[in-house]
Amino acid sequence: MPRMSGIEMMDRIHTLMPDTVFIFMSGYTDKEYLKAAIRLQAVNYVEKPLDIGEVEEAVRVSIARYHTIEQTRNAESITDSISASHLALCLTMPYSSSRDSVEDLSRKYCTRYGSVDLFHAAFTVLLQTDEKVDLSPDFFSRLQKLLHDFARQLHLHVIAAEKKPNLFVFHLFRKNSFTLNTVRTITDFLSCHIETDNWYLSAGQIVSGIQKLYDSYSSAAIRLQSSFFYNNRTVLSSDPEKLTAVRENPEKIYEELITALRNPSREALDPLMARLFQAIYENPTLMRGNIQTLYYRLLDAVFTQRKQRQLPGSGTLASFDNTLDSLNRCFSYPELHDMLKKTIDAFLNDVENYVPMNSSVYLIKEFISRHYSNPMLSTKEISQYASLSASYACTVFKNETGQTLNQYLTEFRLERAKELLADPRNNISDIASSVGYNDSNYFGKAFKKYSGQSPSEYRESRCTL
């Protein structure tokens, strides 16, 4: 053999790949070969001329031994992963309260990579996803693996953990310094590989030493608190200039909106809505709960005006409860504002197109808008609410609208279903139940007959628009 002997080659292989299983095959019973076989824990020493049965048995034993080694390594890998995850969680608590655990786990981690201190420079990235969206079971593990492989190219180590449902922590560190460009490179990479639509990333400050890593986590967590006031899919990586901006008081604009809704016009309401958005957007001094309450009060005011004007419920305005549910599902402030704006736009359209309707027809439509989700809703119940007999209610409704009561109820339910299908977070069987269909198969047939598409086809066509 050129350059090295067989024993030297096996020593090199064992250094590079310590789990390799060796079989010695030689025509010599040389003492050095036998000693090397023992040192390398060879499964067999097969002498030439070879016996095929002996070789086959040696290979079978080698395979069995390798599987045993592999299982041991997998168990060690799982243990290491659990330890790294535990360390990641410990670093989300003040160092003074987790000192012993952090020092023990970090020492084991650094020893594993042959270094005294891998935390010379470090920072934390937080990922928050929408709690109303079910993530795939391997969402976090896949993202962690992708980031780990990418970070290695930058000579960075990554330890990660799920702090709580839909909040994931990534600590990145190395024994050499880095700049903010490194932080941006990491957050840009994560942005491209998060397999869900609604998320925020928040990067903490760069710190030196494991004792300071909690400071980076804290700065990322503080920035994440204001995430609601940004568009989703936003990276929060520095303190924004908006802190110094002077904003109008949202309560003052709210009072003006309430006044404008009593005598509604686009000329008055559109500028007020724009001012409200400007006063709130990217304003971290405001609290999410307070803003949601303010928008709830505005929605309530819109529906009060609808009722006073006897406007029919339609489209996104099927009922106040449904609109309130949509409000609670909003992941970001821009999404919340857009929902209110659409509600007011629909209200203005109905005001502009309003034709006074028969009071009995109004009562019938109002009752349907509040009870259409009841699969047992009957003509008798509807007519009793309008203080009419069932036959007379059907006659009046048909004469005034050109539709039968059942036709209107079906159309109302399926239009509401269209609205719910536009949001991919809503399960189709749940939608069927929420619009008054006990049988999702029957719902699917009724929807296709009405719209020309199955519920899933309609959703897909909406998502590709």
pLDDT at residue 270 greater than cutoff 80: yes
Q: Which residues contact 345 (CB under 8 A, 6 or more apart)?
A: none
Region 308-333: mean pLDDT is: 69
Asked if 101 and 90 touch (Cβ cutoff 8 Å), the reply is yes
Task: For CA atoms 310, 315, 321, 323, give the dihedral sign.
Answer: negative
- How many domains does the chain divide into? 4
Question: Considering the domain boundaries, does residue 84 fall inside one?
Answer: no
Question: Considering the domain boundaries, does residue 1 fall inside one?
Answer: no
Q: pLDDT-derived band of residue 202, with 50, 70 and 90 as boundaries?
A: very high
Task: For CA atoms 437, 438, 441, 442, give the dihedral sign.
Answer: negative
Name the percent of the chain lying above pLDDT 90.
Answer: 50
Tens-place pLDDT, residues 339-365: 999 989 989 998 888 777 788 888 898
Task: State the pairing for strand pair 157-164/167-174.
Answer: antiparallel
Q: Are residues 217 and 246 in the same domain?
A: no
pLDDT at residue 105 greater than cutoff 60: yes
Q: pLDDT-derived band of residue 7, with 50, 70 and 90 as boundaries?
A: confident
Token digits of residue 311: 């406007």
pLDDT at residue 317 greater than cutoff 50: no
Mean pLDDT score of the chain: 86
Q: Are residues 30 and 139 in the same domain?
A: no
pLDDT at residue 243 greater than cutoff 60: no
Residue 304: Cβ within 10 Å count: 14
Nearest to 289 by CA among 376, 372, 229: 229
pLDDT at residue 5 greater than cutoff 70: yes
Residues 17-48: b if buried by 16+ CB within 10 A, e if exposed: eeeebbebeeeeeeeebeebbeebebbbbbee
- Whether the full predicted model's pTM is greater than 0.85, yes or no, is no
Lowest average pLDDT, out of 48-52, 114-118, 151-155, 299-303, goes to 114-118
* Alpha-carbon distances, residue 397 vs 309, 342, 354, 404 (angstroms): 19, 29, 17, 7
Question: Considering the domain boundaries, does residue 41 fall inside one?
Answer: yes
Q: Are residues 193 and 287 in the same domain?
A: no
Task: State the pairing for strand pair 23-26/44-47.
Answer: parallel
Site of tokens 């536009």: 422
Domain carrying residue 426? 357-465
Q: Are residues 194 and 259 in the same domain?
A: no
Residue-level length of the chain = 465
> In the listed set 218, 238, 258, which residue is the last one of a domain according to the structure?
238
Q: pLDDT-derived band of residue 315, with 50, 70 and 90 as boundaries?
A: very low
Q: Which phi and psi (to 5°) does residue 36 adopt?
A: -65, -40
Tens-place pLDDT, residues 77-102: 555 678 889 999 999 999 988 899 99
